[in-house]
Structure 1
């Protein structure tokens, strides 16, 4: 897992051309909250982003997730969102891996954090994550998820 700043995409070039290209695209957009909802392909299935609006839920009602084919880069654009994190090896699988959806679900304990505006959190396949968590009242978030093929 990596926490980083969108405005410095060149610093993450060592993570691969897909990560660098995706972060450069985001940095060039200016106000990310102005991007329309939906999926936008930047390089076909190799690199795409999704802008979504969703509700947060108490951490106990959500599972950790992990992906095998894609690196996930999350940016909360509006609203209050917490993320859970735990290494996949420290968790118990509760739903087997779906190649079609590129996701496996897990239960267990982890640490929780927020990502400040203008920053991102990047999750590798070994990084289970629990997005869209709230610790106070549930609310709505607008967020961006960049998917980078490994």
Structure 2
């Protein structure tokens, strides 16, 4: 789902994101209302084969590029259930899967955002061409906000 669809389907959730001035926030975790938070991070993108798929259970991700360009690959969690590389960690709400081909590529540039639900595994931080520095805000929104 893209951010425009989020605005239409879930206006309260969209408002929470729109009212957060992420570009002025330093790197790190920042708590938001309603049990949500945002992680602001700067990193170097990597080649696709160096990355792993990940998935969450309790939170929906909204990954927003603040500067740079990266690819995020999304694929159904069901397609990866037999390739768990790090079992689900309740405290961090994350499970990792071994590298896998396939999925849908999303090319995200500055100010682009991608909404990723718990039934969608995703492989972020992939270099679009050559590795480059990216600054990104990852909103972690409790799944209950979407019911």
- Range into which the TM-score falls when normalised by the shorter chain: 0.7 to 0.9
> Aligned residue pairs: how many?
139
- In 1, the alpha carbon distance for the partners of 2:71 and 2:136 equals 12
* Correspondent of 1:11 among 8, 11, 36: 8
**Separation in 2 of the partners of 1:119 and 1:60?**
24
- Contact kept, 8 Å, 1:83 with 1:129, in 2: the verdict is yes
Task: State whether structure 2 residue 143 is matched by structure 1 residue 146.
Answer: no
Greater helix share, 1 or 2?
2
2:30 is aligned to: 40
TM-score, with length taken from structure 2:
0.83
Q: What residue ranges of structure 1 are gaps of 5+ in the alignment?
A: none
Alpha-carbon deviation of 1:43? 2.2
CA deviation digits over 1:78-123, x for unaligned, max 9? 0111101110111121211111211111132222121344332111
Q: Please list every run of 5 or more consecutive structure 2 residues that lacks an aligned counterpart in the other structure.
A: none
| Structure 1 stretches of at least 4 aligned residues deviating more than 4 Å after TM superposition | none
Structure-2 change in CA distance of 1:117 and 1:141 (3 Å): closer
- Contact between 1:95 and 1:104, CA under 8 Å: does it hold in 2? yes
TM-score (norm 1): 0.82
